[in-house]
Amino acid sequence: MQQTISALLALQELDAEIYRLRDELRRLPEERTARRAQIDAMIARREETQRKARESRTKIKEIEDLTTIQRQRMRKVEHESTQSKTDMALLAAYQHQIRTLKRDISQAEEEGLALVSDADAVEGEAKRMQAEIEQAELVYADFAKNVERETAEAAKKLAQLEARRRERMNPQVEGETFALYERLLASRDGVALAELDSRICQQCYMEVPVNLYVRVAKGDRVVQCPSCDRIFYVRA
Ligand SMILES: [Zn+2]
């Protein structure tokens, strides 16, 4: 049993690092995807803002075209009214028409001015968003480059460790104990063994009863921590 524990300890030394590297290889691309999605969402918000600004500009153009037509009509009515100085009823009708047109034009101009100031503000907002996006893209490009480099390094290191692990595998660690070890690696963040020092588990810091300590020290069978399930060993 001592031999089994020693063989597992030799594996554990590599497995803690293997576990960490695998975790890194999973985490880094995940973070890159999340950061990309964040920028894409910023781009979508900017596009929506630009769409609103374009809508305002179209509306402003419509109002301008309308007031141009109304001004032309007003000039025409003014001209016609000068031609009919003698017909008082007609003159009054023209003057009424001119007042109505003037009022409509002035209302439209007010509405147009308000829209222009809205559109200016929205366009300013879109510009600010664009600057933010460009800044975020720079940071992202840098991050993505780092991810690529770190991923390549981690993959290389992982392959080396896995090769060393295969060399360390031997018949002493086959069977049930090894299966238990592998299960614990997966469920305990890559640390399946726990040193028992002065009756304290060095992984979960639980104190164990004396008889359990004695069994571990005798080393004739596998003893697990009652609290964290890890396989106990004592330092030789
Ligand atoms: Zn424990």
Q: Which pLDDT tens digit goes with each residue over 196-226? A: 999 999 999 999 999 999 999 998 889 999 9
| Torsion angle, alpha carbons of 222, 193, 184, 217, to 10 | 20
- Which DSSP state fits 193? E
Centre of ligand 1 from the C-alpha of residue 26, in Å = 27
Buried b (16+ CB within 10 A) or exposed e, 95-116: eebbeebeeebeebeeebeebe
Cα(232) to centroid of ligand 1, in Å?
A: 8
Mean confidence (pLDDT) of the chain: 94
Locus of tokens 């009823």: 89
Nearest to 24 by CA among 198, 201, 190, 199: 190
Round the CA-based radius of gyration of the chain to a whole number and report it. Answer: 40
- Please tell me the predicted confidence (pLDDT) of residue 129: 98
Structure tokens of 148? 């690529």
pLDDT digits (tens, 9 = 90+) for 25-60: 999 999 999 999 999 999 999 999 999 999 999 999
Please state the rounded mean pLDDT for residues 124-142: 98
Predicted local confidence at residue 168, as pLDDT? 87
pLDDT number for residue 176: 86
The percentage of residues in the chain with a pLDDT greater than 90, rounded to a whole number, is 83
Mean pLDDT, residues 162-181 taken together: 85
- Cα of 231 vs centre of ligand 1, distance in Å, is 8
133 CB-near residues (< 8 Å, 6+ apart): 39, 42, 43, 46
CA angle 166, 171, 172 (to 5 degrees): 105
Q: Does the pLDDT of residue 236 top 80, yes or no?
A: no
54-58, 59-63, 87-91: lowest mean pLDDT where?
A: 87-91
Which helix (H) or strand (E) element contains residue 223? none
Would you state the pLDDT for residue 172?
65
pLDDT band of residue 174 (cuts 50, 70, 90) is low
Provide the pLDDT for residue 171: 67
Range 121-125 average pLDDT = 97
Q: Is the dihedral of CA 223, 224, 225, 230 positive or negative?
A: positive
Which of 58-67, 156-165, 213-222, 225-234 has the weakest average pLDDT?
213-222
How far does the centroid of ligand 1 lie from the alpha carbon of residue 27, in Å? Answer: 27
CA–centroid distance, residue 158 to ligand 1 (Å) = 27
